[in-house]
Amino acid sequence: MNGRQEQLQAATGAGKDTRNGSQPCAGGSTQPEAPGPVFPHLAYADAVYAALTGEDMRPPLIVAAVSNTVLPTLTIRLSWPAGHPGLREGMWPKGLHVGWSHHLGWRADADPHGDQVRFLPLSTLASPAAVTDMVLHLAEHGMACDWEPDYPCARWEHAGHLDAALAEFEGRGVSW
């Protein structure tokens, strides 16, 4: 056994228990329990992305973020540029941009600056299938169409977990 292997073997043995001592454990584990994740909506964004990809409508751009414009807001933005094969030709000269926030729910924008916004008749935590149906309909028919989801109240299967994470996010008093 070489010197490095001996060091590794020694390091993997029983360590010193510092729980009742005056020395803090490595990694700051003496701190209070850490807050929830900064981006609790990532799993939701992943699920929506997977559903869109399954219908050959993969967005070239997806952004999950925390915005602090007026108050801390979790957001998701999906964008398809003009000329994307999933968009009806000539229907979207500036591309299709779909956004979500935990305060306002789902909306569609006809340009990347949000000058032509339409709020969509979906649950705030709509099922990824409902979001996908909405995107496919918008891509084909544009903003002016009257689209209603088959199940307007259908929620994502993990919405309860995200609801709890959103409540924690709201209650933390996040300071940016």
Residue 5 has pLDDT above 80, yes or no: no
Does residue 4 belong to any structural domain of this protein?
no
Does residue 8 belong to any structural domain of this protein?
no
Find the length of the chain: 176
The parent domain of residue 126 ranges over 42-171
**Residue 82: predicted pLDDT:** 93
Does residue 7 belong to any structural domain of this protein?
no
Does residue 142 belong to any structural domain of this protein?
yes
| Identity of residue 35 | P
| Angle, helices 42-54/128-141, rounded to nearest 10 degrees | 50
Q: Can you tell me which residue has the tokens 């300071």?
A: 175
Strands 105-109, 61-67: pairing kind: unpaired
**Residue 30: predicted pLDDT:** 41
Does residue 20 belong to any structural domain of this protein?
no
What pTM did the predictor assign? 0.73
Does residue 127 belong to any structural domain of this protein?
yes
Does residue 103 belong to any structural domain of this protein?
yes
Does residue 14 belong to any structural domain of this protein?
no
Number of structural domains in the chain: 1
Q: How far from the centroid of its chain's Cα atoms is residue 164's Cα? A: 15
Residue 45 has pLDDT above 80, yes or no: yes
User: For 51-106, what is each residue's pLDDT tens digit?
Assistant: 999 999 999 999 999 887 778 888 999 999 999 999 999 889 999 999 999 989 99
